[in-house]
Amino acid sequence: MSTTLTGTDTSDRILDIAEHLVQTRGFNAFSYADIAIALKVTKASLHYHFPTKAKLGERLVDRYQSTFLAALASIDRSSDNAALRLKAYMAIYSDVLEDERMCLCGMLAADYVTLPEPVKDRVQYFFETNEIWLTTVLLQGQAQDQISFTGSADERARFIVSALEGAMLLARSHEDTNRFRMVATRLLADFGIGE
Amino acid sequence: MSTTLTGTDTSDRILDIAEHLVQTRGFNAFSYADIAIALKVTKASLHYHFPTKAKLGERLVDRYQSTFLAALASIDRSSDNAALRLKAYMAIYSDVLEDERMCLCGMLAADYVTLPEPVKDRVQYFFETNEIWLTTVLLQGQAQDQISFTGSADERARFIVSALEGAMLLARSHEDTNRFRMVATRLLADFGIGE
DNA sequence: GTCTATAGGTGGATAGAC
DNA sequence: GTCTATCCACCTATAGAC
């Protein structure tokens, strides 16, 4: 039962640094050397924890995915109102952007064709998870008259993810987080959700 | 007056290949070697036309920008109806995606922090141009009762660009162009534009 | 688990012949 | 304008000592 509880062992710290690098620079624009310098170890040491960059990528998305799922579960627990849940969902994106990062999987979506196959699969899975959660929130909110929209919830969920990911991309390259907020606000307004 | 009229000299062919590589792989995931192989010349030859990768990047965006501006001018000439203009605008994106490419500047937006400064500036300018054109179309369409929307045209223009760029990113990584079409259709529907 | 040392490859870029 | 040859920095990855 000697399970590590600290959560800040070397593997985790490597993932923290790599995650930040991918979220800012992309999968093809960071190296083991970058991580080694940030962590003050040698490149060789990193290979003990993550034998290849492909494996590192897999673990990176796996961790991001489970953190994201935990955040969604937390939202579900904190409120049963669809409007509030949508706002909280968008706040996750907003917080990432405020930290001058892109969504990890949004970034990997841009690098998509160059990614190792197992990473590709995980990126797709991440977005599917997002869309399923959003679809559920939308349907429930519609049934309880908390929000209103026309068309399928599924299509709306995909629309939201597209708009948010695109807004992050544009906001970051214009160094203007306001661009993101405006898009989020409009998305909410379309569901009859005000400030 | 010996201006080249062919438009398919070596420089142009290099740009064609580089453009395709950036639109599929990104700025940091292609090399002079990739272009050299595709063009069947040596890497050294490429440096005669484009001394550095940074310069190549600049010329790439410059050409993309002017092609895009020409396309927008063509749209303006072909119709004075805002609904049709918006549809034509989205068709540009759709065509790029159908060719299994991302928008060049959408891709560069993801690579943004790693780009040479002159390329960054050009990417920003590209999006500003898009937004200005869209704003004009929206305002004119609203004035002539061809389309309807609430809020500022400026904000709407940014929303459109964000949603389309995000939709391209997601559609490509899901190898499903339908994802893009659904987003485009919804955007149009929100302006009261049907099929 | 981290180190030194190194392999084998590729990156962008240059010199100088043709 | 394109070539051969080459430079040097950097890349991912491995072997083996500590």
Confidence of residue A4 (pLDDT cuts 50, 70, 90): very low
- Determine contact: B159 vs chain A, CB below 8 A: yes
Distance A15 CA to C5 C1' (A): 26
Task: Give how far A189 is from chain B: nearest CA, Å.
Answer: 10
Contacts of B27 (CB under 8 A, 6+ apart): B57, B107, B108, B111, B114, B115, B119
Q: B43-69: b or e for each residue (b if 16 or more CB lie within 10 Å)?
A: eeebeebbeebeebbbbbbbbbbeebe
Question: Does the pLDDT of residue B5 top 80, yes or no?
Answer: no
- Report percent pLDDT > 90 for chain A: 95
The model's pLDDT over B98-156, given as tens digits with 9 standing for 90+, comes to 999 999 999 999 999 999 999 999 999 999 999 999 999 999 999 999 999 999 999 99
- Determine contact: A177 vs chain B, CB below 8 A: no
CB B24 within 8 A of CB B101: yes
Give the nucleotide with minimal C1' distance to the Cα of B56. C12
Measure CA of the first residue to CA of the last residue in chain B; give whole Å.
49
**Is the CB of A111 less than 8 angstroms away from the CB of B112?**
no
The model's pLDDT over B19-62, given as tens digits with 9 standing for 90+, comes to 999 999 999 999 999 999 999 999 999 999 999 999 999 999 99
The model's pLDDT over A31-57, given as tens digits with 9 standing for 90+, comes to 999 999 999 999 999 999 999 999 999
Domain B52-190 annotated CATH 1.10.357.10 = yes
Distance between CA B133 and CA B141 in Å, rounded?
Answer: 12
A51 touches strand D (CB under 7 A): yes
Contacts of B51 (CB under 8 A, 6+ apart): none
pLDDT at A2: 41
Higher-pLDDT residue of B4 and A178 is A178
From chain B, pick out residues whose CB is under 8 angstroms from the CB of A159: 163, 182-183, 186
Q: Where are the domains of chain B?
A: 52-190
Amino acid at A54: A
**Is the CB of A174 less than 8 angstroms away from the CB of B110?**
no
For the entire predicted model, the pTM comes to: 0.96
